[in-house]
Amino acid sequence: MNINWTKEEFQTYVLLYAAQSNYIETESESAYILSKVNESLFNSIHTEIVHDNDYQAMEKIKTYLAENKYTNVEKEQLLKDIKNVFFADGSVDVLERNVFLLLKKIIA
């Protein structure tokens, strides 16, 4: 699998995956992501993520990280942004917590 994303596209994909991890993408989660990226990129990546199942999404994330250099600072920032997506609606449920732990293991 060859993922030809820019870093911004990858980050958008990961944040949207996080927002949809509990099958409910709230307005506040979307608003947080839109505060980080432009609407055109958001819409483009959103179309992709809704067609991917969990396995495909995880494989894309793993593949991108294996093929691209991410500094520790960039990884920490991405994990912070993922946390902010989860907390955007005021609560973190069990699914979101489990997805965060999985993403943290993959990213870190």
Q: Is residue 1 part of a domain?
A: no
- Indicate the number of domains in the chain: 1
Query: Quick check: pTM over 0.85?
Result: yes
Q: Give tens-digit pLDDT for 12-32.
A: 999 999 999 988 899 999 999
Looking up residue 39, the CATH number of its domain turns out to be 1.10.3680
Residue 39 forms part of a structural domain: yes
Domain assignment of residue 2, yes or no: no
Instruction: Find the domain containing 98 and state its range.
Output: 7-107
Each residue of 39-91: pLDDT tens digit? Answer: 999 999 999 999 999 999 999 999 999 999 899 999 999 999 999 999 998 88
The answer as to whether 83 is a domain residue is yes
Nearest to 88 by CA among 39, 22, 13: 22
**Largest Cα–Cα separation, the chain:** 36
Alpha helices in the chain (DSSP H): 7-19, 27-36, 39-51, 54-67, 72-87, 94-107
